[in-house]
Amino acid sequence: MSMGASVFSYVKAETDPYAWLADMSQYGSTIQNILVEENQKVDTFLENTQQVREELSQEFMARRNVQRPFMQEWQIGKTSYRQFYKGRQLVLERLDATGKWETLLSPEVGGGYYHVLSPVISPNQQQLLLLEDRVGGEQYGLTLWDVTTKTKQVQIDDVASVVAWRTDNQGFYYAQSRNHLSGSELYFYDTAKQQPHLIYQSSKEILFSTSTSGQYLIADELSHNSRKTMLWDLSISNPQLQHIDFAEPQEFFVDHAEDGFYARVLSSEGAHLYFTQALDVPWEDITPSQLDDFETFVVLKDWVVVRTRRAGVASLKYWHKKDAQHIKTIQFAEQNYMVWVERGSAEDVINLGYTSITTPKTLLKYNLLTQKWLDLDVVKDGHYQILYRHIQVRDGTKVPVTIVLPKKPIQALLFTVYGAYGHSLSATYGTTVRSMLDRGFAYILVHVRGGGELGHQWHESGRALQKQNSINDFVDVAFELKKQYQLFDSSFAIAESAGALVVAASVNAQPDLFKGVVLQVPFLDVVESVFEQSTEDSDEWITERNKQNKDYVTKYSPYQQLKEAQYPAMLLIAAMHDQRTPYWHALKFLFKARDMQKASAPLLLFTEIEGGHAAGPMGRVNRNLLSYQFILSLQENKEWSFGK
């Protein structure tokens, strides 16, 4: 590809000869042209598989159309609300005095990228705040709506994902940050004076949330190896900033309910639940003696609900606040699933969001007192056999693996992985991967170290200076299953973000591991991100910014470890407005990999011009549509043969 003499003279002068590909300020026009040409190369490579793409698209849409709407219902005072989606369009309704549902809001979606968050209704129910992202950069446009007149009153750009009303209806809090590296600012917007006031400013990234009680705005200020939690009381006009701290915990999370403050505190002894009625009163450890560990908690009026894991499988346990020694478990019929608590839970009834590989996203209701389901109208889609196994890897560790088997004989293996931030990879319902199952692919989720499937220590053993464990786990599990199923020439991998790091590093370590891989919005240049750009989540990747850590990261970072080899076919998918893993991770990797490639397998990059790291529902469908079209084209092509 022609880049011009001036560019070549520049790249030769750089320590990293591909660094200029990240310099949009100086080489923006050239880079934009390159991205367009690379997209055209993908189109050319896949032009003979357009019928496959059309079939996949029809299958994806047909599954989306048969799903029931995921409808959330809740009450503010005595007024009932509900919201659901029609395609990408959010619909918010209110039950009027005659018993009919009145549409309060149904914002225009438009033709480009669109993601909208749940509206935040004012305490007097006369106004609401709406957050919309039309670019994909995870920065939202905030709109203040008058519910009665259904008109826009205020619009603010570049707002973070959490807003909160002051309880006297005189204004609301919102946060702004230019990107994930530039810090955060908290503002209070006075609706009477129609002007914002800066309340707090930090050079660090801050994660905001509102308490269960609705009384507090909670801010978690994140920095390397430290965490600071702050509170603002939403019930008073000039709240004093309140700090919460614990004696050297590894991690803690705070919430406020009607009866006081609760905190999950994670230390070397494991997770414990603490309570205090007020912040000037000492915290009390209220962890039930039978509770070994837990990931998260939710506090209702009379109940405490926690999510735990046993052998990697999630479960919900709960107890009455007056009887903490009698723990009960909510039983689910399936072995592997994802479950979370939804809004609208009240008194003894808890609303749960639920999904599994055979169950679309569904809202369930469970009575905690009677231990009975109130709604078990679960729609099943497909009867795939799901295996949950443990495979021993090179250091003796047994890694959990979820295997979803197709109905027909297995013709290929499709691996996926994540393994970072303590996130647990769950077998959830997807309108897209089912097309691969129906074509004879076994779908394999490898729960490597670095995730949260087996608790806090499982995360710790796959992060920072133990990150190589995540990569080794994936390589060993993939090799073992390829051997068991005797599918050496028909094994593929797909992953996104930090999971794509694991796949790419595995391919560097063993280039013949897969016939083809797809890396979606991949995190590939760890050295640049952590040591040069000082990303705020760096404690996931290092313990300190020193030579020892940099040397360790360099030894596994996919971009740095590219070498001359016979690499498998690769499709990288980047997003132009991705603030978490910018486009240049994929572009630099692509150019370097092509220079190192000793095989005839294609190395391709497709950049989404609209959208960011989080693709949104339709964006994810389109991303997977391209990914599976690529994999199926490789499956039909016998030119490349690996792994025997």
CB 30 within 8 A of CB 8: no
CA dist., res. 553 & res. 546, Å (int): 11
Asked whether residue 4 carries a pLDDT value surpassing 70, the answer given is no
CA dist., res. 93 & res. 102, Å (int): 5
In this predicted structure, what is the pLDDT of residue 247? 67
In this predicted structure, what is the pLDDT of residue 123? 94
Asked whether residue 559 carries a pLDDT value surpassing 80, the answer given is yes
Over range 23-27, report the average pLDDT.
93
Joined together, the tokens standing for residue 466 give 């133990």
In this predicted structure, what is the pLDDT of residue 194? 92
Phi/psi region, residue 497 (left: phi>0; alpha: psi -120 to 50; beta: rest), is left
**pLDDT tens per residue across span 505-522:** 999 999 999 999 999 999
3-class SS shares of the chain: helix, strand, coil, % to 5: 25, 35, 40
Asked whether residue 108 carries a pLDDT value surpassing 80, the answer given is yes
Asked whether residue 230 carries a pLDDT value surpassing 60, the answer given is yes
CA dist., res. 40 & res. 63, Å (int): 29
CB 130 within 8 A of CB 105: yes
Asked whether residue 181 carries a pLDDT value surpassing 60, the answer given is no
From-to residues of CATH 3.40.50.1820 in the chain: 33-59+386-636
Over range 440-447, report the average pLDDT.
96
Q: pLDDT grade, residue 179 (50/70/90)?
A: low
Average pLDDT, the chain: 88
DSSP state, residue 435:
H
Asked whether residue 12 carries a pLDDT value surpassing 50, the answer given is no
Which one-letter amino acid corresponds to residue 7?
A: V
Contacts of 615 (CB under 8 A, 6+ apart): 136, 521, 575, 608, 622, 623
CA dist., res. 384 & res. 393, Å (int): 27
More confident residue, 335 or 486: 486
Smallest CA-to-CA distance from 127 within 157, 69, 166, 184 is with: 166
Joined together, the tokens standing for residue 170 give 């005189």
Joined together, the tokens standing for residue 515 give 């016939």
**pLDDT tens per residue across span 253-276:** 999 999 999 999 987 778 899 999
Strand partners, 257: 260
Joined together, the tokens standing for residue 103 give 């549409």
Q: How far is CA 199 from CA 142, 232, 241, 347, 555, in A?
A: 18, 10, 10, 35, 43
Q: pLDDT grade, residue 288 (50/70/90)?
A: very high
In this predicted structure, what is the pLDDT of residue 377? 60
Angle (CA) 228 232 238, round 5°: 135
Chain centroid to Cα 222, Å, comes to: 18
Over range 334-352, report the average pLDDT.
83
Share of the chain above pLDDT 70, in %: 91
CB 355 within 8 A of CB 338: yes
In this predicted structure, what is the pLDDT of residue 35? 96
In this predicted structure, what is the pLDDT of residue 61? 82
**pLDDT tens per residue across span 353-408:** 888 877 888 888 999 999 998 876 655 555 788 888 999 999 999 999 999 999 88
Which one-letter amino acid corresponds to residue 322?
A: K
**pLDDT tens per residue across span 460-474:** 999 999 999 999 999
Phi/psi region, residue 44 (left: phi>0; alpha: psi -120 to 50; beta: rest), is alpha
**pLDDT tens per residue across span 70-94:** 788 888 989 999 998 887 788 999 9
Out of 139-148, 482-491, 614-623, least confident range:
614-623
CA dist., res. 420 & res. 450, Å (int): 5
In this predicted structure, what is the pLDDT of residue 268? 72
Radius of gyration of the chain (CA): 25
In this predicted structure, what is the pLDDT of residue 534? 64
pTM above threshold 0.95: no
CB 160 within 8 A of CB 193: no
Phi/psi region, residue 194 (left: phi>0; alpha: psi -120 to 50; beta: rest), is left
CB 117 within 8 A of CB 616: no
Asked whether residue 149 carries a pLDDT value surpassing 80, the answer given is yes
Exposed / middle / buried, residue 610 (Cβ in 10 Å: 0-12, 13-18, 19+): middle
Out of 27-41, 304-318, 376-390, 627-641, least confident range:
376-390
CB 92 within 8 A of CB 86: no
At 578, is the secondary structure helix, strand, or coil? Answer: coil
CA dist., res. 401 & res. 437, Å (int): 17
From-to residues of CATH 2.130.10.120 in the chain: 77-245
CATH architecture type of domain 77-245: 7 Propeller (2.130)
CA dist., res. 116 & res. 134, Å (int): 9
Smallest CA-to-CA distance from 603 within 525, 495, 504 is with: 504
In this predicted structure, what is the pLDDT of residue 640? 47
Tally Cβ neighbours within 10 Å of residue 570.
27
Asked whether residue 53 carries a pLDDT value surpassing 80, the answer given is yes
What is the total residue count of the chain? 644
In this predicted structure, what is the pLDDT of residue 3? 37
Share of the chain above pLDDT 90, in %: 60
Check whether domain 33-59+386-636 has CATH 3.40.50.1820, yes or no: yes
Asked whether residue 573 carries a pLDDT value surpassing 70, the answer given is yes
Chain centroid to Cα 532, Å, comes to: 24
Exposed / middle / buried, residue 411 (Cβ in 10 Å: 0-12, 13-18, 19+): middle
